[in-house]
Structure 1
C-alpha cells in the first residue's frame, strides 16, 4: 500500500505571495501561512501559539495566488509536505519543509485595507463568495 502525504491548513497569509517565472514559462509562488493554537498554561491562563508554514504553489495555482491572495487573508490550503535541501551563501547545507499546495480556497472577505470595493459603509470587510482553485495534473504525466 502506498503512503499518504496530505496536509490541510486554515490560516492567514503572513505576506503577499512572491511569484517567480522559471524557464519554460513555469511559475511558482511562495508565501507564509500562520495558524493559531490555543491552550491553558499551569496557571489556567489562555495562551496562543502561532505556527508559521511555508507554502509553494505551482503553475496556474501560482498565477491565481499572485492575482488574488493578499497578506492577512484567511485561506484553506490542501497539499503535501515536502522537505528539500539547499546550499546557503556560506555553502552550508540547509533544509526547508514546505507545503506544496494542490488546492487553495479563499475564506471570508477581503483583508483589511483593500480599498472601498472590499468594505461596507461601516468599514467592515464585505463578504465574498468562496473561491477555490486546484492544481490539475498534466495529462501527459498521468500514470496510465
Structure 2
C-alpha cells in the first residue's frame, strides 16, 4: 500500500503563470506560503503548485498574489540536468487535484468562494 496525499492552506506568493497548449490542455503554476508555527514567530514554508485543466483555468481567473487557497494533491519531484554543470537537479512540486478558493470578496475584486475538483469536470 502506498499513500501520497498533500493538504495545504496558504496564500499565493505571486500571480499564477498560465500556459495553453495546442492540444487544448492548460497548465497553471504558482507558489503558496504556509505558516509554520514556531515558539518565537510564524515562519512560512513555500510550496510550488502545478494545476491542469479546469483547476488551472479557475486559478488563472480567480487567484492573485495574496489570495487564500486550500489545495489537495500529491507530491512529485521534477528532475532535470543542469545545463551549466551537468549535475542532476530536482524540485518538489504539488500536483493539485482539488482547489478551494477560501478568501472573501473583500480580499480580492473577484469572488473567492467555491471548490473545484479535477474529477468533477
- Under TM normalisation by the shorter chain, which class is it? 0.7 to 0.9
Q: How does 1:55-66 map to 2 (within 5 A)?
A: 55-66=49-60
Deviation, structure 1 residue 111: 6.7
SS of the residue corresponding to residue 96 of structure 1 reads strand
Write out per-residue CA displacement over residues 99-144 of structure 1, whole angstroms, 9 at most, x where no aligned residue.
Answer: 00010111131475x45xx6xxxxxxxxx67310111288xxxxxx
Bigger relative contact order (CA 8 A; separation at least 6): 2
Counterpart Cα distance in 2 of 1:87 and 1:17: 25
Return the TM-score normalized by structure 1. 0.74
Give structure 1 stretches of 5+ with no counterpart: 41-45, 119-127, 139-144
- TM-score normalised by structure 2 residue count: 0.87
1:100 matched residue in structure 2? 95
The alpha-carbon distance between structure 1 residues 20 and 111, as it changes in their structure 2 partners (threshold 3 A), is farther
RMSD value, Cα: 2.1
Paired residues of 1:103 and 1:134 also in contact (CA < 8 A): yes
1:134 aligned to which of 108, 117, 120: 117
> Which segments of 5 or more consecutive residues in structure 2 lack a partner in the other structure?
none
Does the Cα contact within 8 Å between 2:73 and 2:96 map onto a contact in 1? yes
Measured against aligned partners, the alpha-carbon deviations of 1:58-82 in whole angstroms (never above 9, x if no partner) come to 0111111111111100011000010
1:18 corresponds to:
17
Q: How many residues align?
A: 120
- Look at both structures and tell me which one has the larger radius of gyration over its CA atoms: 1
Task: Mark the CA change 1:3 to 1:86 in structure 2 (over 3 Å): closer, same or farther.
Answer: same
Supply the distance in 1 between the matched residues of 2:112 and 2:50 (Cα, whole angstroms): 24
Deviation beyond 4 Å, 4+ runs, structure 1: none
Q: Quote the Cα distance in structure 1 between the aligned partners of 2:120 and 2:55.
A: 12
1:1-144 alignment to 2 at 5 Å? Answer: 2-40=1-39, 46-90=40-84, 91-110=86-105, 112=107, 114=108, 130-136=113-119
CA positional deviation for 1:22: 2.6
